[in-house]
Amino acid sequence: MKSGKEYRESLRKLRPEVYYLGEKIDSVVDHPAFAPHVNAAALTYDMALAPEFEELLTATSHLTGEKVNRFTHIHHSHDDLVKKVKMLRAIGQQTGSCFQRCVGHDGLNAVYSVTYEIDRKKGTEYHRRFIELLKKVQSEDLMISGAMTDPKGDRRLSPSQQRDPDVYVHVVERKSDGVVVSGAKMHITGAVNSHGHLVMPTAAMKQEDADYAVCFYVPVDTPGVIHIFGRQTNDTRKCQCFLDQGNVDYGMVGGEALIVFDNVFVPWEHVFMCGEYEFAYELVERFATAHRQNYGGCKTGLADALIGATYALAQVQGTDRASHVRDKIVEMVHLAETLYCCSIACSCQGYALPAGSYMADPLLANVTKLNVTRHIYEIARLAHDITGGILATAPSENDWKDPRVGKYVDKYMRGVAEVPAETRIRLIRLLESMTCGTALVESMHGAGSPQAQRIMIERRANLEHKKRLAEKLAKIGEQPLFVC
């Protein structure tokens, strides 16, 4: 298994095509805009080597019997699913930000199970190919992005009906040694600091969409693969003031990017679906279930840090003993632990798939993610309430250090007399970075928007069964035993 340092060095050996603010980036490891995201991912490597986190962050490969980083592991038990959630919470507590490796991990598990079922029905060799890739991912401890979401163009139209075929990734040519693909994937977490991309279809497909039912792997520096890094709230602060960044080491969210595939060649050994449109929905659902399972783990870890920052700031400001403040902090804890309960529950209710791997309960996983779209916002709202308007109006670090006005900033930013103004400023900036922008949007739309969860909940709700329960209790259709 790699260390964080070895992970960084492995990225320096790659030459992906990356653009940010109109500039081509030579090294994502050494550029301040990407450093926090690299640091957060690097911690997933270092924590796996730390004795206190080893049980959560490592597992035994079912393929080789070797100890591997859990982010490269295929779940084979309820225990695996539960440890995954506990691992995500533990890392979230340490980073206060997205650490990016879960998406690829969920992709690995989804593709593992679906390729097995395609092969069993179609006589293909996708699963064997995928196992060879998985062995490489495990032995080299690779960070893989899970690239699922397409731009989608006109949402009223299916992939094959779009005026521009590239708004969904698709096969443009089949060759004897591989395929050529074109299109793009959007909002891809950790894309620029991954070793490779596991590309999956984004929706259910019909026969006419068969060219869009494609799943494959490409290294990040494959010719024709172009990364355009997305803007984040206050992102230029990473290149400016230290104090104003808030979460200096690990940033705000997961460093999402637009990935363009400009007639990219993919050899057959890295193709895991090519035209099997009837399996596209199954792959989407399994990936979505695995990813939505996560959110009561990672977001609870972040909430732990956020609650701690809010409590510490209340002490600095002298409001920690106010009954309404204490009650609001208790409510923040209640909401966070509710999310954690949901992730643990869907993990414990998981089940084995035909491939032998385990999947979380889809209904409860979607309930988990739908709750996140509400509870994280409420936790942030309570943090804003307790912090006060200073969260949005605090002077900059440069003003605090200015020889003329710095003394006034220091004087008037102080709360409790014994606590330095700098302490209050640091806590305010941390709370700002965690609750005032991109991070909240990710809580809403990461792993699919709320409507996506509602659709899945309706499909899994078994309403006819619930209706029969009510009809039985109401004795619908039965003759009365007696008449009053």
Tens digit of pLDDT per residue, the chain (484 long)?
999 999 999 999 999 999 999 999 999 999 999 999 999 999 999 999 999 999 999 999 999 999 999 999 999 999 999 999 999 999 999 999 999 999 999 999 999 999 999 999 999 999 999 999 999 999 999 999 999 999 999 999 999 999 999 999 999 999 999 999 999 999 999 999 999 999 999 999 999 999 999 999 999 999 999 999 999 888 888 887 788 999 999 988 889 999 999 999 999 999 999 999 999 999 999 999 999 999 999 999 999 999 999 999 999 999 999 999 999 999 999 999 999 999 999 999 999 999 999 999 999 999 999 999 999 999 999 999 999 999 999 999 999 999 999 999 999 999 999 999 999 999 999 999 999 988 889 999 999 999 999 999 999 999 999 999 999 999 998 887 766 6
Q: Of the listed 117, 285, 397, 442, which one is catalytic?
A: 442
User: Counting Cβ atoms within 10 Å, is residue 268 exposed (0-12), middle (13-18) or buried (19+)?
Assistant: middle
Check: CB of residue 444 under 8 Å from CB of residue 371.
no
Check: CB of residue 125 under 8 Å from CB of residue 176.
no
pLDDT at 483: 65
Q: Of the listed 291, 310, 397, 436, which one is catalytic?
A: 291
Say how far apart CA 231 and CA 33 lie, in whole Å: 10
Q: Of the listed 17, 44, 75, 102, which one is catalytic?
A: 102
Residue 2 sits at φ, ψ, to 5 deg, of -80, 155
98 is catalytic: yes
Q: What CATH number is attached to the domain comprising 456?
A: 1.20.140.10
pLDDT at 114: 98
Check: CB of residue 118 under 8 Å from CB of residue 127.
yes
Longest dimension (CA), the chain: 93
Q: Is residue 421 part of a domain?
A: yes
Q: Is residue 439 part of a domain?
A: yes
Question: What is the number of structural domains in the chain?
Answer: 1
pLDDT at 235: 87
Q: Is the pTM of this model over 0.85?
A: yes
Q: Of the listed 7, 17, 37, 98, which one is catalytic?
A: 98
Instruction: Name the region of 169 (left: φ>0; alpha: ψ -120 to 50; beta: rest).
Output: beta
Q: Of the listed 274, 298, 346, 436, which one is catalytic?
A: 298
Sequence-separated (6 or more) residues with CB below 8 Å from residue 446? 189, 291, 295
Q: Of the listed 295, 311, 340, 358, which one is catalytic?
A: 295
The candidate with the shortest Cα–Cα distance to 16, out of 189, 226, 186, 218, is 226
For residue 51, how many C-alpha atoms fall within 13 Å in the half-sphere facing its CB? 0
**Alpha helices, DSSP H only, in 318-418?**
323-348, 362-387, 390-393, 397-401, 406-412
Say how far apart CA 154 and CA 169 lie, in whole Å: 15
Residue-number span of the structural domain to which 321 is assigned: 283-469
Check: CB of residue 177 under 8 Å from CB of residue 244.
no
pLDDT at 290: 98
pLDDT at 253: 82
In DSSP terms, 228 is beta-bridged to 19, 258
Residue 242 sits at φ, ψ, to 5 deg, of -75, -55
189 is catalytic: yes
Q: Of the listed 17, 117, 256, 397, which one is catalytic?
A: 256
Q: Is residue 80 part of a domain?
A: no
The candidate with the shortest Cα–Cα distance to 312, out of 407, 166, 416, is 416
Q: Is residue 390 part of a domain?
A: yes
295 is catalytic: yes
Q: Is residue 300 part of a domain?
A: yes
Say how far apart CA 341 and CA 351 lie, in whole Å: 18
Q: Is residue 171 part of a domain?
A: no
Handedness of CA 68, 72, 74, 77 (dihedral sign): positive
298 is catalytic: yes
Q: Of the listed 58, 72, 189, 438, which one is catalytic?
A: 189
Q: Is residue 377 part of a domain?
A: yes
Q: Is residue 130 part of a domain?
A: no
442 is catalytic: yes
